[in-house]
Amino acid sequence: MMAESPTVSVVMSVHNGARYLAESVESLRAQEGVDFELIVVDDGSTDDTPQMLEAYAQQDDRIRVIYQANTGLTRALIRGCSEARGVFIARQDADDLSLPGRLSAQARLLVSDPSLAFVSCWAEVVGPEGEPLIVHKRPIGCDAATRMLLQRIAGPPGHGSVMFRRDSYESVGGYVEELYYAQDSDLWLRLGVVGKLQYIPRVLYRYRLSPDSISGGGQFMKKDFIDIVNELHTARLTGRSEKPILERAKQLCHQASPRHLAAASIRPSQESQGAALYFIGKCLIDRRDGRSLKYLLQCIKRNPVHGYAWLFLPWAWVLAIGSRRR
């Protein structure tokens, strides 16, 4: 039975995420040591996601599902956070995993230190099929972590790795609707002004990297939104108005929407997909993993002139042959 006012509200948005959804939800249902609710915003899915979520909600009263037309991640998160009843709000993306003990460890840390506005942890990045790629680590102390964040050196390793105080989130205005991308970076900067950030020096979150997730039709606009986030941060620090910056963000938000991209026939480029596949392949080579071969071959198929893919291809062949012999 779920508590009326749980300690933690986990907020997830999903759009056509049936492929990885069950694994992600189960990683949360298995969390122990803290009472929580899971709020899932189905952002206009047209695959099996709605049926899967309905089944979960019927078997687990900790899960609440909100169905809405597709609005994009930022607006879906605003909706989900507005429904949160917990003292703390944790994020999780629908293709990611919370490892055992994540929610309880982050909640304990927030309870133990009132100066903290939000906490994160180390995170492991995995490939499309769960292949281990890299581990992102961050400094242990809250002063160093907060300083690195505000100086734009490094922030939380993955949007979904964070848990924040609900009252701090509300006091800084929550997610900014005009930011289609980089909404997390903007929120972290605002939270870092009203409180401190601290990392748990353990891998408690695992997020998935796929060619589609980092080279989608509108991904080329991410840098524009990051620039806007930096401008907003500077404006706040210097007392300038954010209004003209947000107006530009609003225009960019329209251009980044799936409906606009579809109308403009903007699709992921072969080159950008190739770059993503190369990155996955090279990470696997660094780990001496023969599965690197598949990704380098896919990279070359999409971008036959990718020099580094050709350069490391023989090495990948050797690793693949070695793994087959074992």
Distance of CA 321 to the CA centre of its chain: 34
Predicted confidence (pLDDT) per residue in 246-305, tens digit: 999 998 887 766 664 444 344 556 777 888 899 999 999 999 999 999 999 999 998 999
What sections of the chain are H helices per DSSP?
18-29, 49-59, 73-82, 102-112, 142-150, 166-171, 183-194, 211-215, 222-238, 243-256, 258-263, 270-286, 292-302, 307-325
Predicted confidence (pLDDT) per residue in 114-145, tens digit: 999 999 999 999 999 999 999 999 999 999 99
pTM given for the model: 0.92
Task: Supply the pLDDT for residue 1.
Answer: 55
Residues 222, 227: Cα–Cα separation, whole Å: 9
Residues 86, 299: Cα–Cα separation, whole Å: 44
Contact 299, 274 (CB under 8 A): yes
Count Cβ atoms within 10 A of the Cβ of residue 1 and give its class: 0-12 exposed, 13-18 middle, 19 or more buried.
exposed
Instruction: For tokens 């929580």, name the residue.
Output: 36
Q: 3-class DSSP state for residue 100? A: coil
Residues 125, 136: Cα–Cα separation, whole Å: 8
DSSP one-letter code for 220: G
* Cβ neighbour number for residue 103 with a 10 Å cutoff: 24
Task: Supply the pLDDT for residue 269.
Answer: 63
Average confidence (pLDDT) per 10 residues, the chain, 326 residues: 82 96 98 98 97 97 97 96 98 96 98 98 95 95 96 94 98 96 96 98 94 55 89 95 94 70 50 86 96 96 94 96 77
Residues 65, 21: Cα–Cα separation, whole Å: 13
DSSP one-letter code for 187: H
HSE-up (13 A, CA, CB side) for residue 144: 5
Specify which residues 135 forms β-bridges with: 124
Q: Which amino acid is it at 240?
A: R
Residues 11, 169: Cα–Cα separation, whole Å: 13
Give the 3-state secondary structure percentages of the chain, helix then strand then coil, rounded to 5: 50, 20, 30
Task: Supply the pLDDT for residue 103.
Answer: 98
Contact 36, 9 (CB under 8 A): yes
* Cβ neighbour number for residue 71 with a 10 Å cutoff: 17
* Cβ neighbour number for residue 89 with a 10 Å cutoff: 25
Residues 208, 123: Cα–Cα separation, whole Å: 10
Closest-CA residue to 204 (of 108, 270, 278)? 108
Specify which residues 66 forms β-bridges with: 41
Task: Supply the pLDDT for residue 119.
Answer: 98
Question: And the tokens for 178?
Answer: 């005009």
Residues 93, 205: Cα–Cα separation, whole Å: 11
Task: Supply the pLDDT for residue 271.
Answer: 74
